[in-house]
Chains A and B, each alone.
Chain A
Amino acid sequence: MTNMTRLIPTFLKERFKAVNRLIMLMLTAIVATAVVQLFTNGVSNWETSLTGDVSFWSGIAFFVIFIRLASFNEHIYVNDAFRLIPISDTKLYLSSYSASALAFLYYGVISAVLHGLVAFVTKGQLQVNFHIESSFFWSSAPVAVPMIIVFFFLGLLLVWMTISLIHLIMVSIAAFLPVGRQRLIRGVLYVVVSVVIIRVVMGLFQLYSQFVMTSGLQLNGTSVLLAFLSVIIVLILESAANVLLMKRFVETAL
Chain B
Amino acid sequence: MKATVKINQLTYKKNLKTILADVSLDVSGDKIIGILGENGAGKTTLFRIISGVAKNYRGDVAINGKTSPADRKSLVSYSQSLGGFPENKRISQVANFHEQIYPDFDRDKYNQMIDFLSLDVTQRLAALSKGTKEKVIVALTLARKTSVYLLDEPFGGIDSMSRKKIINSIIQWKPTDSLMLISDHYVSEIASILDEIVVLKDHTVAIHKRADDVRQESGKSIEDYYESLYEEGAQK
A-side residues, CB < 8 A to B, are 1-2, 6-7, 9-10, 75, 79-89, 175-179, 247-254
Contact = CB atoms under 8 A, between A and B. Distances in A.
Nearest to A10: B100
B101 A6 contact: yes
A79 B84 contact: yes
Contact of A175 (B14, B44, B68, B81): B14
Interface stretch (B32-40, B53-61, B175-183, B220-228): B53-61
Given A80-B84, A176-B15, A86 B102 contact: yes
A80 B53 contact: yes
B102 to A, nearest CB: 7
Contacts, number: 83
Contacts of A178: 15-16
Interface string B96-125: 010011110000000000000000000000
Given A81-B82, A84-B73, A177-B16, 14 more contacts: A1-B103, A2-B101, A7-B101, A10-B101, A81-B80, A81-B84, A84-B52, A88-B68, A178-B16, A179-B17, A247-B55, A252-B53, A252-B84, A254-B44
Interface of B: 14-17, 44, 48, 51-56, 68-71, 73-74, 78, 80-85, 97, 100-103
Contacts of B85: 81
B73 A86 contact: yes
Query: Which of A83, A84, A252 has most B Cβ within 10 Å?
Result: A84
B62 to A, nearest CB: 16
Q: Which 8 A-B pairs have the closest CB atoms?
A: A81-B84, A86-B74, A79-B84, A80-B80, A86-B73, A10-B100, A88-B70, A179-B15
B83 A80 contact: yes
A175 B56 contact: yes
8 contacts: A2-B103, A85-B101, A87-B73, A175-B56, A177-B15, A247-B69, A251-B54, A251-B56
Given A6-B103, A81-B97, A178-B16, A249 B56 contact: yes
Given A6-B101, A249-B56, A251-B53, A86 B82 contact: no
B200 to A, nearest CB: 17
A158 B158 CA distance: 47
Nearest to B17: A179
A89 B68 CA distance: 11
A84 B51 contact: yes
Contact of B81 (A7, A75, A80, A89): A80
